[in-house]
A and B are shown apart, each in its own frame.
Chain A
Amino acid sequence: MADPMRIRATEQPDGVDVRVLMSHEMETGQRRDAAGKVVPAHFISNVTVSHNGKPVLSAEWGPAVAKNPYLQFKFKGGKKGDKLTVTWVDNKGETRTDEAMIS
């Protein structure tokens, strides 16, 4: 199982600033190992961020997103203490969901 995400959501005058750091290998499928075999691609393909159950951002990623992906965005309508849920699914079907409170 993958390590937990680090989520930081802070309320600001112009909206809620969300920063997420995920822990994932993000293997491109282009690299070869020492034996010359292609390392199979393994990357996060879909990410969804929800605020109180309502999606505020969804992303589709390719293998070109850097290892241990970072994501930052801003949305309006959130306030202190609200719950933020981040879910990712990778191309092997593994998934992880983490929650954070807006502060």
Chain B
Amino acid sequence: MNQNRREFVKLSGVLAVLATAGLSTDEALAQQQAWNKTAFEAKTLDEAVKALGGPAATQSADISITAPDIAENGAVVPVGVTSKIPNTQNVYILVEKNPSSLAAGFAIPAGTEANVSTRIKMGQTSNVHAVVKADNKFYVATKEVKVTLGGCGG
């Protein structure tokens, strides 16, 4: 009898956590229509590229990623992307092993250099992909960043 009660308490706790998690994502969806939710929920590079509207990304040597080889703190990893591809429209930063791959996307109007830097979080050592959309084609470059202290959880 007591045992059953214990199980029940445990189970309801789990359900409560699930319910709150579900609620917060729905709220976010309602408030941010312009935000590309599918892309930000994609788990892999290919999924994210599809969600952004491309069939697949081809490797390109014209994209360079500025990031440390070893990041001491995964909560703050400086990443810069430079694209030498003409007519670059968008630059995206993806982290392969994060819970959701896509970290940030930038729209580059004409007159702005395809060169942006920001700081991202990384859960663990992973490949960082820079995806560039130019003339409606997708290109990708990859760099591995080793993380000694994760930025998620904690």
Contact = CB atoms under 8 A, between A and B. Distances in A.
A59 B105 contact: yes
Contact of B31 (A31, A67, A76, A91): A91
Contacts of B95: 64
Contacts of A65: 103-104, 118-121
Interface residues of B, number: 46
A95 B21 CA distance: 23
Contact of B104 (A55, A59, A67): A59
A67 B75 contact: yes
Interface string B125-154: 000000000000000000000000001111
Contact of A62 (B21, B75, B103, B113): B103
B117 A41 contact: no
B61 interface: no
Nearest to B114: A73
A55 B152 CA distance: 33
Interface of A: 15, 26, 28-31, 36-38, 40-41, 45-46, 55-67, 69-77, 89, 91-93
Interface of B: 13, 17, 20-21, 24-25, 27-28, 31-32, 34-36, 40, 75-78, 80, 95, 98-100, 102-109, 111-113, 115-122, 151-154
